[in-house]
Chains A and B, each alone.
Chain A
């Protein structure tokens, strides 16, 4: 068996018992990537393989010798980071993201850049300038997005674990589609310094792993306050692994919101029925009376707030200092127009235009200001709910992975695939997706748990208990 199929904990155990070496593990991962992920016709979880020399700075630490793949929007000193966009091709970062520093200090081996939707704009990994990533469970289907590459490589055993970023579900939805574990931490839990911004008030970096234990381990390494990120929280990081010791859920109250119970697809209904049964068996009490009345506006609010911030965040890609610049232009305006016109893909342009419109004078109050008000109402809904329950349960996505090209023609339908994930970003709360029941067609379905700010421990405890029950 290839060491690439192992979890981080399994590898650490093998290293400790001298049954495998770090070099062997890395060799297995590299060879798995090169056999399974050669080109764009394969799963194509990775981009720019030829420049993916492994990077390690410490030989000891909690992640010593564990290869970690990074989404293409996380900066590593001396390496290209392009957000899967033409406009950033050639941009070599002169600095490393805080999460990269933390991984390296923990002994991890940074290996590989994973594919994504351009600038994380998408739910299928199809808007990448490098071509789409495929779902290892069914290559005709999308891996989800935007962290499609980061989820696919973990599911395909071409990585031990990876980091993704989640603005409206970009870690959880691909984790659900690919049948792996994805955590979107509390806003402020993980430093955003070095994460190329999509929507600053929503973005969070998080781990995608083969199981809950690995996820807890990775988050314990990358979480914590960072003086380089004003929005990172000065809240101490608990020992997440400790939360996994007891797998009983007795005394735990889990809410199953009224709004979610309605309008479930048959697959999602099956997922939830099974989940409730297992959780109750583990001793949890399911509260079916909690309500999140404003979450029905979440998608609407999100598509005002996120593109507004994105339209401003993406202004720096102007061809002046780095990345793509249109050749020989007549004047400054045409340099901007040609650079951005050529450099950005269709979805990026759509969101920039949407956001620019929402922020324009005369529309700002009607769109942005109003959306921010509703955002507060959504957050209040969760605050109220968490007075009654320890966590909230819902599907990660309405359905299993859809086929490539199935939703690319209708952006609105694509946007709706994030209907269950967006609220957590708007409220700033943590949420985890773990594999639940299989769909009618035998595809993975993601089960999502949400908790109050900085209660990642609770999520890991529930997720781990659930995972154990499925074994």
Chain B
């Protein structure tokens, strides 16, 4: 059965403020339980919240970067519910009047370019954490996280597949990171996502019932949970079942969603304006300052990279997603240290491979523009093969900041372009492989490449491959 999928995402990101949203406590991950707390974030009787203006400024930057409209007046509301990790029995959030309304995130490109509309961005405080594994009979509450500043970004239901959801999240993360509004480190819980998924039969009029999936702690989980839901809901529809509106929980271990509560069990949050915080106006000056402080956004950067450096759409989006990567690329090219295409290949190839393998960011490595250019330069000049540079020299460079030429010399990797040495290896290979030689002579072009490979092997990767190839062809034609 063909089905039409409708997805909307609610993303919570931790704003990069040093202190909490309504008190002066530090926002610090992995501290001893209840060490980053004060009477205010503990919700002790008589305490009052005071808005951290830095949180407001970060939120405003995010709104502008996403192309939204900032609210004229900043107001907060109380969202009332009971849970032990919520000290006041209500969460201070924005309900009636979010900080930002509207905005867009573009995903895909060219023909498949899609504009995903953003519904709203609002500010709120995070709750604490429950700890269940310390005792058989009791649970504990750690309130270090309580009062951590969050922005919730809600998309319109414009997404139609798990891939689109993944792309949306990647773009959102790239934007927020590039403007310094959030680190978006999912491992530290700095980006959390809930997905609203509904499925309906094609051309059937009304939208399907909304199923909200919670507990999605990685982009992979978002993708997997959406795919699971599409299958689950499609199968139910196929069987003629009705999909109830409900909230479901993603079970990472079992790769399945489970019903958490039905619509009937949904909370009535009894929102009302927070009387402890006085509404205030956003001045045009504040908006201008926030706008002026925005760096070039990933999308604009990507388009400029394509235009200025003739990069492919794919390379440009990879290189523009992170500020530090974009800077590495751009400096290398602008200082004429590297050719744009070469720099792009090096960064999207060996550099990214290293970063993902070690799970580190560029700034955590020893790599500089000069070191990258020098490494690539050795290949360009023919001093070393790309293979050897990538596998044997570059890891030392990026990890320890060693000079690539020195590494090449120490490891004795310098490429041999000297005709006599090459000639000797080629002759040996031709003698050793009469069958392949015969095939080549019979017209099988690819056999030449096999022979080149054998020479490279014999030279322990030091032979200059282009030169070897031309010499082999020459020799066999003789």
Contacts and interface: CB of A to CB of B under 8 A. Distances in A.
A94 B39 CA distance: 8
Contact of A201 (B49, B51, B275): B275
B44 A197 contact: no
Interface string B432-468: 0000000000000000000000000000000000000
Given A94-B39, A230-B49, A359-B80, A316 B88 contact: yes
A196 B88 CA distance: 12
B89 interface: yes
Q: B interface, how many residues as a size bin?
A: 20 to 34
B49 A361 contact: no
Tell me if B's interface is mostly helix, strand, loop or mixed: loop
A464 to B, nearest CB: 32
Contact of A332 (B48, B84, B88, B276): B84
B110 interface: no
Contact of A315 (B39, B80, B268): B80
Contact of A230 (B48, B268, B271): B48
B78 interface: yes
A406 interface: no
Interface in B145-162: none
29 contacts: A75-B45, A81-B45, A83-B45, A88-B45, A93-B44, A93-B45, A93-B46, A192-B48, A193-B47, A194-B47, A230-B49, A230-B276, A230-B277, A231-B275, A231-B276, A231-B277, A308-B272, A311-B80, A312-B78, A312-B89, A312-B90, A312-B272, A315-B88, A316-B45, A316-B88, A318-B82, A321-B42, A321-B141, A359-B80
A230 B89 contact: no
Interface string B309-347: 000000000000000000000000000000000000000
B146 to A, nearest CB: 11
B270 interface: yes
B278 interface: yes
A228 B44 CA distance: 14
A364 B272 CA distance: 9
Contacts of A360: 268, 270
Interface string B273-297: 0011110000000000000000000
A93 B80 CA distance: 24
Given A316-B45, A336-B82, 8 more contacts: A227-B50, A228-B48, A230-B50, A230-B51, A316-B87, A320-B87, A359-B271, A364-B272
A193 B47 CA distance: 6
Interface in B47-100: 47-51, 78, 80, 82, 84, 87-90
Contacts of A317: 45
B43 interface: yes
A457 interface: no
Contacts of A318: 82, 84, 89
Contacts of A368: 272
A200 B51 CA distance: 16
B161 to A, nearest CB: 33
A229 B89 contact: no
A94 B78 CA distance: 25
Contacts of A201: 275
Interface string B189-203: 000000000000000
Contacts of B141: 320-321
Task: Indicate the member of B48, B87, B141 with the most A CB atoms within 10 Å.
Answer: B48
A264 B456 CA distance: 110
Nearest to A91: B45
Interface of A: 73-75, 81, 83, 88, 91, 93-95, 97, 192-197, 199-201, 227-231, 308-309, 311-312, 314-318, 320-322, 332, 336, 356, 359-361, 364, 368
Contacts of B277: 230-231
A193 B387 CA distance: 67
Contacts of A361: 268, 270
B275 A194 contact: no
B45 A230 contact: no
B54 to A, nearest CB: 15
A360 B269 CA distance: 8
Contacts of A91: 45
A196 B43 contact: no
Contacts of A199: 275
Nearest to A82: B45
Nearest to A193: B48
Contacts of A315: 80, 82, 88-90
Contacts of B276: 197, 200, 230-231
A372 B48 CA distance: 22
A319 to B, nearest CB: 9
Nearest to A201: B275
Contacts of A229: 48, 50
Contact of B275 (A75, A83, A200, A311): A200
Contacts of B42: 321
Nearest to B89: A315
A192 B78 CA distance: 19
A199 B276 CA distance: 10
Contacts of B272: 308-309, 312, 359, 364, 368
Contact of A321 (B43, B48, B270): B43
Given A320-B84, A321-B87, A368-B272, A95 B39 contact: yes
B46 A196 contact: yes
Contacts of A316: 43, 45, 87-89
